Amino acid sequence: MICILVSLFQTNAQGFISCNECERTVGDSSAVQEVLEEQIPLVEAVANPIDNPVTEDNSCLAVTENGEHHLTLLPPRSTMAFNNDSSKVLQGAYEPHHGMDFRFFKIVTNPNTKPYKFLDDQTWTGIPVFLSGMIAKAEKTAFRQDYNNKNTLIRLVKYDFHSEVDNYTQFAPLVLTAGLHLAGVEGRSDWPRLLASGVMSGAVMAAFVNSIKYTTSEMRPDGTTRNSWPSGHTATAFMAATVLHKEYGMTRSPWYSVGGYAVATATGVMRVLNNRHWVSDVLSGAGIGILSTELGYGICDLLFKGRGLLRNDLSYHADLRTQPSFFSISMGIGLGNKNLELPAFEFTMPTELFGDDYETFSSEPLHLNFRSATVVGAEGAYFFNPYIGIGGRLRVKATPINGWSQFRLSEEEGINGLLESDPDLSQAMGKVELVIESDHITEFAADAGLYFSLPLSSRFALGSKLLVGRSIMDDIYIKGIYKGEQLDVNFFGDDMFTPNGQYTDYEWDYIDLGASNSMKYGTGLSLTYAHKNSFSWRVFCDYDYARKTFTAKYHPFGVIEGASPDTVEFMKILDFDLSQPVVSSAKKTLHQWVLGAALCVSF
């Protein structure tokens, strides 16, 4: 069956309506309420069915089926709903509400809408997103940022970042939904059904979040309370975004969906930047928010059936031939360079007090082994046609390091062994402890460029991209802690070091490893599958190239700063500054691969 909206009809002298294209008679004018030529609105003929056109006055629908022509007169304000395979006209007079809509307790139904079944609202996309949070939970410390590290020079945000905006952005998509409805912009549901669906979604979300929070008792990254996983703010934000998606993104414009999910993603990012949540908390919270809304709407579908529906969905699934634009959140595993070797640390010390002879000491080269990285990101692109568009990507990648713990142990034993080699010194001083504050190199990257799509069918498409951007890496470090009495120094007495009775708990950066900011260049291949209701799944393989200078700052003499500040000042007279670390650096070309999957909103 081929459905065409028609303007090309005429009424002949005998009172019959004929088709201008084939000149065949398609109906008796008396059978369609004496429709005259001037009464038939001039509507552009379309080759493919379109979504939800609404007739303004008396209009004609021409249908060609099995070689026969049929003409139907449609009543004013009737809605025509189509799918991609056939045409179906749902007729019935319906007059939309004009102006502000305060009908909070009145059920209003458009007879031309198609009732939903429970499974119509279930895409189940929230489940894999939640599970990705569980996977990331095992690597939660990879994404924690210590904003109190005074020597960390490379930061995405300032170390004292704090914002309460996320307390409000979590509700923003819900406020927009209510505002549009109040302004009289029809969405999927009337007020009673919208309120019921929202309350049901919130109840399901709260039940999921709180039952998990207080069962797992996960400590927050800032150490305040044990209710970190999953993130309630993020769950609320994605629940609100999915309500906006269902009410307006699926019935009016996918840009509502893109905007809602972008705000929800920003809410989750701010929860991490505020040091209130791990990335795993945010991923799981997002999954719960999406799943809870789908379940809440599905339950209300069973309760309300066809009542309270105002608009049909724009389409039953994303067509990647006409909807290649997307916004996505992704997770993957990073592969690439496996090792980093820095030259030996060297420092020069005087061989005797007030002498002219110096001796150079050197350590072993610092050799680090990288493990597979955990990668999370957000990405989006707008396509000008089915094949080419522009867009960008934000990505966080955390790479754990092998051997960091063994390095800490050997260094700690070395320092304490040196202190114990002098009986007088060991009796006077306390102990030194080295603590690994971070054993992951965390990279923040922002990229922009060209995106390409090659549709294979309505549901499958290959994709690629060419990106250029900026890479910022956070430092990793081992913290030194000295606990004990401070020592006064007397280089000319029998007892060189004498406890002065002042207890100190001194901390310093024993070793700090960072990398320079740099440009990066990337590409990749992807395969996208259009799932349901504008949601798509994507698997991808990305490649990034960058060249960085890695710098390690080694400060074994920090213990002397804590134990005997007088010694540090005295050694400065001898032109040897114990307060400064020694530095080693090396350039490294990075070839990085990321294999992963993404949840996309296609539009």
Q: Are 400 and 439 in contact (CB under 8 A)?
A: yes
Q: At what angle do helices 279-304 and 254-273 cross, to 10 degrees?
A: 140
Residue 514 burial by Cβ neighbours in a 10 Å radius (0-12, 13-18, 19+): buried
End-to-end Cα, the chain, rounded Å? 27
pLDDT mean over 330-340 = 82
Q: Which of 550, 465, 476, 472 is nearest to 511 (CA)?
A: 476
Task: Say whether pLDDT at 378 is over 80.
Answer: yes
| pTM for this prediction | 0.67
Residue 343: HSE in the Cβ half-sphere, 13 Å Cα cutoff? 9
The CA distances from residue 431 to 395, 484, 560, in Å, are: 41, 7, 12
In angstroms, the CA 557 to CA 325 distance is 56
Domains of the chain: 2-90 (no CATH), 118-304 (no CATH), 326-602 (2.40.160.20)
**Chain Cα centroid distance, residue 379:** 8
pLDDT mean over 124-150 = 67
pLDDT tens, residue by residue, 449-478: 999 999 999 899 999 999 999 999 888 888
Give the highest mean pLDDT range of 16-25, 46-55, 226-235, 317-326: 226-235
pLDDT tens, residue by residue, 6-43: 334 444 444 444 544 444 444 444 333 333 333 333 33
The CA distances from residue 41 to 24, 55, 58, 73, 83, in Å, are: 20, 9, 7, 11, 24
In angstroms, the CA 400 to CA 398 distance is 7
Please give the DSSP secondary-structure letter assigned to residue 37.
G
Q: Are 80 and 311 in contact (CB under 8 A)?
A: no
Q: Residues with Cβ < 8 Å from 240, sequence gap 6 or more?
A: 170, 171, 172, 173, 174, 177, 260, 264, 289
The length of the chain in residues reads 603
Q: Residues with Cβ < 8 Å from 236, sequence gap 6 or more?
A: 170, 171, 202, 205, 289
pLDDT mean over 595-603 = 86
pLDDT mean over 364-368 = 79
Residue 361 burial by Cβ neighbours in a 10 Å radius (0-12, 13-18, 19+): exposed
Give the highest mean pLDDT range of 126-130, 289-293, 337-341, 344-348: 289-293
pLDDT mean over 482-504 = 76
pLDDT mean over 437-441 = 74
In angstroms, the CA 237 to CA 262 distance is 10
Amino acid at 236: T
Query: What is the overall mean pLDDT for the chain?
Result: 77
pLDDT mean over 482-505 = 76
